[in-house]
Amino acid sequence: MAISPFGRRAFLAAGLTLVAAGCAAPTPASAPSPAASPISVPHAFGVTTLPAPPARVVLVGFKEQDAFLALGTAPVGIREWFGGKPNAVWPWATSYLNGAQPTVLPRADIAYEQVAALRPDVIVGLTAGLTREQYDRLSGIAPTVAQPTEAGDYTITWQEITRTAGRILGKDAEAERLVADLEARIVQTRTAHPEFAGASMVLASATGGQHYLFGPGATGAQLLGQLGLTVPDEVARLADNADAYYILSPERFDLLDVDLAVWSEAATDEGPAALLADPLYTRLPVHAEGRDVFLGLDRENGALMFASVLSIPMVLDEIVPRLSRAVDGDPATAA
């Protein structure tokens, strides 16, 4: 059964990094800089031209809000992904709202009438997996920017989301600065944790009675890879698809026996609880030696799953130390 990682993925996907000493979280971008008009933004269905930087941005993608907020623009509409947070904005980004209260759009389907009622200057769906039909319908409401390619809708990087938001807002330089600063922190983190270099890892999820392994193209796995961890070749092959994950049967739990297993739910959740009662898993050295980490269902897991320009510093600060201990075998890091 095919399950899109952004459709029923309240608990699927992820991403990571560590706050290097003396580094602060990204600050909101300065006032809008002059931008040449018109603005052209290429995407899977062509090129969208905006006459000027938009004031009213509506997001039909699942995880673009942090990039726009970091660049000083609060969207007037944000599509819910998971978590039920006020304004569909998570704790790491709420200070960037500056009093704005975006309308929360439903997750299940695009609410075209609600989108139109928000009078958008631009509609953005970088992580929505838009079809041509959906794109055409949205374009009848306002200029629309779709995902970069028709394939790989759910493997777009945080860098590309940030840069595209910058292009849309006429803030390319500000976006590039945000990307460069955070990339530098990731490099610092990798240097500070040589134990990650070459260590094998799996990014996994246990929810809804299923077990999932994410390939290196998944958002969180991309970031773990930047820290020096590697997805085994066999897992990479099995998860080589547009959604970048593989449904794992208990008979293939051998794929989990790596240097580090990162689970995107807490051990108290029903899925992980069942996993931890299964001897096929608990007998694996990765668990017996304390080299698996179960993330919390709220802050940690959410920040890892969004893996955005604003959430990555939180993930890095709170999760990387746990991963560092676990990769050397520390049972205290598991729960």
Cα 267 to Cα 276, 292, 294, distances in angstroms: 8, 11, 6
Pair 128, 147: CB distance under 8 Å: yes
* φ, ψ of residue 26 in degrees (nearest 5): -55, 140
**Spatial separation of the C-alpha atoms in residues 225 and 216, rounded to whole Å:** 7
170: left (phi over 0), alpha (psi -120 to 50) or beta: left
Average pLDDT estimate for 179-192? 97
Range of weakest confidence among 19-23, 49-53, 56-60, 237-241: 19-23
Q: What is the pLDDT of residue 190?
A: 96
- The mean pLDDT of the chain is 86
Would you state the structure tokens that stand for residue 295, as one six-digit string?
Answer: 């993330």
Question: What count of other Cβ atoms lies within 10 Å of the Cβ of residue 274?
Answer: 13
Please report, for the chain, the start and end positions of each structural domain, with discontinuous segments joined by +.
39-186, 194-333
- CATH class entry, domain 39-186: alpha beta
Instruction: Tell me: pLDDT of 91 over 50.
Output: yes
**Spatial separation of the C-alpha atoms in residues 32 and 145, rounded to whole Å:** 20
Nearest to 146 by CA among 218, 51, 41: 41
**Spatial separation of the C-alpha atoms in residues 328 and 335, rounded to whole Å:** 16
Work out the angle at residue 172's Cα, subtended by the Cα atoms of residues 162 and 219, and round it to the nearest 5 degrees. Answer: 15
Instruction: Tell me: pLDDT of 322 over 80.
Output: yes
Pair 74, 96: CB distance under 8 Å: yes
Work out the angle at residue 149's Cα, subtended by the Cα atoms of residues 107 and 144, and round it to the nearest 5 degrees. Answer: 55
Would you state the structure tokens that stand for residue 43, as one six-digit string?
Answer: 């995407």
Most confident of 33-47, 129-143, 259-273, 293-307: 129-143
**CA diameter of the chain:** 62
Q: What is the pLDDT of residue 3?
A: 39
According to CATH, the superfamily of the domain at 194-333 is Nitrogenase molybdenum iron protein domain (3.40.50.1980)
Instruction: Tell me: pLDDT of 146 over 70.
Output: yes
Average pLDDT estimate for 4-24? 38
Instruction: Please list, in sequence order, all residues whose beta carbon lies within 8 angstroms of the beta carbon of residue 218, skipping any fewer than 6 positions away.
Output: 5, 13, 14, 154, 155, 203, 239, 244, 245
**Spatial separation of the C-alpha atoms in residues 320 and 318, rounded to whole Å:** 6
Q: What is the pLDDT of residue 7?
A: 44
Average pLDDT estimate for 214-225? 90
Q: What is the pLDDT of residue 315?
A: 85
* φ, ψ of residue 70 in degrees (nearest 5): -60, -25
Pair 310, 329: CB distance under 8 Å: no
Work out the angle at residue 113's Cα, subtended by the Cα atoms of residues 109 and 119, and round it to the nearest 5 degrees. Answer: 120
- Cβ-count burial of 241 within 10 angstroms (0-12 exposed, 13-18 middle, 19+ buried)? middle
Instruction: Tell me: pLDDT of 16 over 50.
Output: no
Q: What is the pLDDT of residue 327?
A: 93
- How large a percentage of the chain has pLDDT more than 90? 67
| Model confidence pLDDT, tens digit, residues 257-281 | 999 999 987 556 676 788 888 999 9
Q: Which H or E run contains 322?
A: helix 311-327
pTM of the model: 0.84
**Spatial separation of the C-alpha atoms in residues 212 and 247, rounded to whole Å:** 5
Q: What is the pLDDT of residue 106?
A: 95
